[in-house]
Amino acid sequence: MTQGGTRWRLQCYAALESTQTAAIIVAQQGGPDRLAIIADLQTAGRGSRGRTWVAPEGNLNLSVLLRASGPPDPGRWALHAGVALYEALAGYTSDLMLKWPNDLLLCGRKLGGVLIDSGLRSDGTLDWVVIGVGANLVRAPTLHGSTAACLPPPCPAAEDVAHAFMRSFDRWCAADVRSAWLARAHPRGTAIDVITPHRRISGSFAGLSPRGELLLEGADAPISSADVFLAPITPQPLTPCFSL
Q: Output the domain CATH number for residue 124.
A: 3.30.930.10
Same-domain status, 173 and 196? no
Q: What percent of the chain has pLDDT over 90?
A: 66
* Tens-place pLDDT, residues 185-214: 999 999 999 988 788 999 999 999 998 999
Residue 112 has a pLDDT of 94
Lowest mean pLDDT of 2-6, 68-72, 75-79, 228-232, name the range.
2-6
Indicate the pTM of the whole model. 0.88
Residue 22 pLDDT > 80, yes or no?
yes
Domain span holding position 197: 191-230
Q: How does residue 167 score in pLDDT terms, banded at 50, 70 and 90?
A: very high
Residue 39 has a pLDDT of 95
Residue 11 pLDDT > 80, yes or no?
yes
Q: What are the two backbone dihedrals, phi and then psi, of residue 177, each rounded to the nearest 5 degrees? A: -75, -25
Residue 44 pLDDT > 80, yes or no?
no
Residue 60 pLDDT > 90, yes or no?
yes
Residue 142 pLDDT > 80, yes or no?
no
Task: Please tell me the total count of domains within the chain.
Answer: 2
User: Is residue 236 domain-resident?
Assistant: no
**CA separation, residue 193 to residues 12, 24, 81, 109, 217 (Å):** 39, 32, 23, 16, 11
User: Is residue 178 domain-resident?
Assistant: yes
Sheet of 103-106, strands arranged across = 9-16, 35-42, 60-67, 126-135, 109-120, 103-106, 96-99
